[in-house]
Structure 1
């Protein structure tokens, strides 16, 4: 006989287990938190998270899929209208299991399984990506300070009011350089 891969069977056969998990899920969605044994909670978690994923999709087909598992229309209505909007931005991990200790009668490990309904804080971007993006924006926004001051760099910076004066100076410089070159050509 092959070893079961889903974990221990709870109670009788598979039909009993399926019904028990459906009842636990219905109680979880109704009360938002239930106290049960650790084994049952670990088996309930994937069932409950799958039902919440159906509820997040919210269409008729997924409502009928959830209804085929639980069977109680009031629980399905609560799941789709109240719980799904609260976990809409959460990408998984809709349940939380907290250990409570051991049961007095048979020393079974008891836990509390509850829905995680707190709002999601988006994860910060990775440090490398944010540092690279920040460096790119600062390089583009800030002027470069390390350049040495030269006559050309000073000539590039004056205000617009000095532009006509610069144009005149440039014209006189070009005419003076032409005048210097002309006698040199005559001397040859």
Structure 2
């Protein structure tokens, strides 16, 4: 059994989609997406915030290698890391919104706590 969800995509497409979702979440503070995508994005976003809390050069380079926007990484390491310095995990929250009109997929809002 895989330790992640495949989300009906090939690996390259899935990886880039999740990178974009994580970048958007950290940039705007909240995104609306499907439930399964939100659960995967939450896992990766928490890892990025943990890297930012370390704050060293290696962690910054790892975050830059993963996220698609350098300005978001700068904000992550300066503002968001300081905000969560005394919190051990659980940096994001999932709020259920209801089914999507087109295909009845369960929609949620994923936001930073």
Q: CA deviation at 1:13?
A: 1.2
Instruction: Please point out which of 9, 32, 36 is paired with 1:35.
Output: 32
Instruction: Please point out which of 3, 15, 22 is paired with 1:5.
Output: 3
1:44 is aligned to: 41
The normalised TM-score by structure 2 is 0.95
Q: CA deviation at 1:49?
A: 0.3
Greater relative contact order structure (CA < 8 Å, 6+ sep) = 2
RMSD of aligned Cα (Å): 1.0
1:9-158 to 2 correspondences below 5 Å: 9-116=6-113
Aligned structure 1 segments of 4 or more residues deviating by more than 4 angstroms: none
Q: CA deviation at 1:28?
A: 0.3
Which whole-Å CA distance do the structure 2 matches of 1:19 and 1:113 have between them? Answer: 18
Give 1 or 2: higher helix fraction.
Answer: 1
Which whole-Å CA distance do the structure 2 matches of 1:93 and 1:100 have between them? Answer: 20
CA-to-aligned-CA distance 1:138-178 (integer Å, 9 cap, x gap): xxxxxxxxxxxxxxxxxxxxxxxxxxxxxxxxxxxxxxxxx
Which whole-Å CA distance do the structure 2 matches of 1:53 and 1:66 have between them? Answer: 10
